[in-house]
Structure 1
């Protein structure tokens, strides 16, 4: 689906590349994007674990999913995961705050010492949970991941402007789709339901996301 040449590298090489952005005393944001099932969440989490809490923290874009109640009111619940089922402006605002975050004087921020709180998404309940990820100003590298970091519509370009580098993950298409089907099954869908979702709504999203790959700083395939 992606006709651009991907760079093959090992996970250790990926860690080394990310470590180059984790410069103490400075703030960088690294974005991982790719189609559903590309491995963004897994790779981002593994990168943060490899670098350690002193160097990196994870802020997933999925925390900005609109709640199911809102999606039903908008008539979009059946295509949850599309770009217009997220609070893109909220995500862009958070990325800007994180980019500009500095250790503030205690008189200005009270007891929280300049911490910014980000939301997370719980797949077990398919809903976002607000203010659940504390971002400390001294953490040099924030890794964010999501489908639409390179989209050129709505508020997404404002989010991209706050991110230093965006890497597009491009596994083989058969691997990506299989991962996606198994993920849907793991969260309660039957095999038939999982395939319908993965090859229907998710596939349409995947094709739109693949079209943004040329705007990435790097297209990567882990080996």
Structure 2
């Protein structure tokens, strides 16, 4: 892990300057408001990705599955949403989204398996289900209904996102380049993998704010970032070399 990952120096946000945000209402589940890059930064990243996808199409090597990866807090969900609008404007149809987070284990199952203290780590996902879904969307022989993750409920919800047979499927998540058993099968199902590279001090601030915005006490949020999130960041950063394109905000 690079020297920037100093857990004891994690930047805590001044609660007096940044009061807690109320939990979002239903319908806000696909937003990453507190953990998203600034609009101008996101636009630059989106433009680079659109260019890469369009170039592949021009060369006769169209992208069916586009993967966005990087540590938690890089704004993957925000960028994925922007791509659903930007790609069609560039003449590239979008089939739908298949987020990795839709394959979170339920909170009840996590508790039953004593995994709830590190929810979000690789062993808290149904990776076999994720791999199977990516295989189905690659075959493109029927509409597929993908699960989504509702941040307002803190639970996955089945059959939430329709994926059409024609166009680019956008999938995003932390572990798309991971080489652990089960996860190693994901990379081969992605045509273009983009890694969003962001310094840890930026991620830490975003993640604290994200956890607070979804109802966690600020001190608890900072502790979670120091422990669970920081370990995930370290793991994901080692997958950068497996990406086809690395973008830096």
TM-score normalised by the chain length of structure 1 = 0.85
- Residues 1:194 and 2:228 aligned together: no
Q: CA separation in 1, counterparts of 2:162 and 2:56? A: 20
Which deviates more, 11-20 or 76-85?
Answer: 11-20
2:148 is aligned to 120
Deviations, residues 107-148 of structure 1 (Å, cap 9, x unaligned): xxxxxxx2111000000011000011111102x211100011
Shift of 1:101: 1.2
1:19 is aligned to 54
- Residues 1:55 and 2:83 aligned together: no
Give the alignment partner of residue 180 of structure 1, picking from 188, 207, 222: 207
In structure 2, the CA distance between the partners of 1:45 and 1:221, relative to structure 1 (3 Å rule), is: same
Q: CA separation in 2, counterparts of 1:18 and 1:191? A: 40
2:232 is aligned to 205
Matches within 5 A, 1:47-196: 47-52=83-88, 55-56=93-94, 57-102=96-141, 114-138=142-166, 140-196=167-223
For structure 1, the residue ranges without an aligned partner over 5 or more in a row are 103-113
- Residues 1:33 and 2:73 aligned together: no
Shift of 1:25: 11
The answer as to whether partners of 1:64 and 1:119 remain within 8 angstroms in 2 is yes
In structure 2, the CA distance between the partners of 1:129 and 1:13, relative to structure 1 (3 Å rule), is: same
Q: CA separation in 2, counterparts of 1:135 and 1:21? A: 21
Q: CA separation in 1, counterparts of 2:138 and 2:106? A: 26
In structure 2, the CA distance between the partners of 1:124 and 1:22, relative to structure 1 (3 Å rule), is: farther
Which deviates more, 151-160 or 57-66?
Answer: 151-160
The answer as to whether partners of 2:76 and 2:172 remain within 8 angstroms in 1 is yes
Shift of 1:18: 3.1
Q: CA separation in 1, counterparts of 2:186 and 2:149? A: 18
TM-score normalised by the chain length of structure 2 = 0.76
RMSD: 2.3
The answer as to whether partners of 2:176 and 2:186 remain within 8 angstroms in 1 is yes
In structure 2, the CA distance between the partners of 1:203 and 1:135, relative to structure 1 (3 Å rule), is: same
Which deviates more, 178-187 or 23-32?
Answer: 23-32
